């Protein structure tokens, strides 16, 4: 730790940054000359949202209905697609610069200048992350209202939704051109689904009133389930965009073998059924399938080596 004058809070941040890996969604523009000017100086300013509506509305929804409270619709700032690209580029560029400063600090003794750079980019990234989260608070309320039931406490839905929102902010790839609400709503609903299954499983084993203090932590399973689901999305993206360079017959086999044309709970076509459609033997279908899966695996490894383990999960793909 450098000998510069840092507050206890800043020293804690620096110590944590020396232990933790900074994650970000990379973009080719970050590596070009003048990136800082384009992403921050030349970008249009995005005003922070007004969140004064949030807590009163949340209190009304959590409190028992006495017939006197009105459910006012939540109103918050809605960003355009262009504004989302700007603010997510700023968030991930700040983390990109933070990661670079972190690597330099780990290679050699941290200097006062290096520590100030770490704190600078950490402060910017946290400020932007908070702004994005506050801008999208209405997503959590909307999704909580959508799935609200007697089995799940509304306060638990809000808490779980907020955590899912923060995770989706960290993982959202702004370079793909999609609106964040599409990705964020799906992530929140998946979190609610896991919460519902967890609550149902608890009631099956302990048919008494739910007590959070008696619940055993399930962080590892939740994290694994979230990672597997995200990995499946990556595999599906590779297939749909044909990043693996599959031939027409290979795409047809994968499409039908793994149920991409069927509802979520429908069974997959067998090798023999696919062979009947194509007019070939089931052994030939197996050979085509294995070759296509190997192409997808290689495409995944080239994109992100950590996804190499995800290929077995391809059987979970659905529309």
So what's the pLDDT on residue 82? Answer: 92
Where helices occur in 279-316 by DSSP H, the ranges are 282-303
Q: pLDDT for 189-208, tens place per residue? A: 998 888 878 766 655 665 55
Least confident of 166-170, 301-305, 309-313: 309-313
More confident residue, 6 or 235: 6
What is the average pLDDT value for the chain, to the nearest integer? 80
Q: What percent of the chain has pLDDT over 90?
A: 33
Region 229-257 average pLDDT:
80
Contact between residue 257 and residue 249 where contact means Cβ atoms under 8 Å apart: no
Q: How far apart are CA 285 and CA 272, in angstroms?
A: 8
CATH tag for 138-216 (out of 3.40.50.300, 1.20.120.1810, 3.40.50.450, 3.30.1540.10): 1.20.120.1810
Of the pLDDT bands very low, low, confident and very high (cuts 50, 70, 90), residue 316 is: very low
CATH tag for 234-319 (out of 3.30.1180.20, 3.40.50.2300, 3.20.20.60, 1.10.10.10): 1.10.10.10
Contact between residue 115 and residue 55 where contact means Cβ atoms under 8 Å apart: no
DSSP state, residue 279? T
SS (HEC) of 61-119: HHCCCCCCCCCCCCCCCCCCHHHHHHHHHHHHHHHHHHHHHHHHHHHCCCCHHHHHHHH
So what's the pLDDT on residue 3? Answer: 57
* pLDDT of 92 above 90: yes
So what's the pLDDT on residue 130? Answer: 95
Region 6-27 average pLDDT:
90
Region 125-138 average pLDDT:
94
pTM of the predicted model, to two decimals? Answer: 0.59
Q: Write out the two tokens for 243.
A: 């990043």
* pLDDT of 167 above 50: yes
Q: How many CB atoms lie within 10 A of CB 10?
A: 17
More confident residue, 293 or 234: 293
So what's the pLDDT on residue 19? Answer: 86
| Domain residue limits, the chain | 1-63+70-135, 138-216, 234-319
């Amino acid at each position: 730790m450098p000998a510069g004058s840092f507050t206890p809070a800043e020293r804690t941040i620096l110590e944590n940054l020396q232990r933790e890996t900074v994650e970000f969604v990379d973009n080719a523009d970050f590596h070009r000359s003048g990136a800082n000017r384009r992403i921050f100086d030349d970008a249009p300013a995005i005003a922070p949202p007004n969140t004064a509506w949030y807590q009163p509305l949340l209190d009304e929804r959590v409190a028992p209905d006495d017939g006197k409270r009105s459910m006012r619709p939540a109103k918050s700032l809605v960003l355009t697609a262009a504004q989302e690209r700007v603010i997510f580029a700023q968030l991930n560029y700040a983390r990109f610069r933070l990661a670079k400063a972190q690597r330099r600090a780990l290679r050699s003794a941290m200097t006062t200048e290096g520590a100030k750079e770490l704190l600078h980019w950490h402060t910017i990234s946290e400020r932007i992350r908070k702004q994005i989260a506050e801008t999208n608070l209405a997503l959590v309320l909307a999704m909580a209202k959508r799935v609200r039931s007697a089995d799940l406490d509304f306060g638990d839905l809000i808490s779980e939704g907020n955590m899912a929102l923060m995770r989706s902010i960290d993982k959202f790839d702004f370079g793909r051109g999609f609106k964040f609400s599409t990705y964020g709503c799906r992530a929140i609903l998946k979190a609610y689904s896991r919460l519902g299954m967890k609550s149902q499983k608890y009631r099956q084993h302990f048919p008494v009133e739910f007590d959070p203090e008696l619940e055993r932590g399930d962080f590892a399973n939740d994290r694994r389930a979230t990672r597997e689901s995200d990995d499946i999305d990556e595999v599906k993206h590779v297939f749909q965009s044909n990043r693996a360079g599959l031939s027409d017959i290979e795409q047809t086999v994968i499409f039908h073998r793994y149920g991409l044309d069927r509802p979520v709970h429908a069974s997959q076509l067998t090798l023999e059924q696919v062979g009947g459609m194509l007019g070939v033997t089931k052994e030939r279908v197996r050979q085509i399938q294995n070759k296509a899966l190997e192409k997808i695996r290689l495409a995944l490894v080239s994109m992100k080596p950590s996804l190499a383990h995800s290929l077995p999960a391809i059987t979970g793909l659905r529309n």
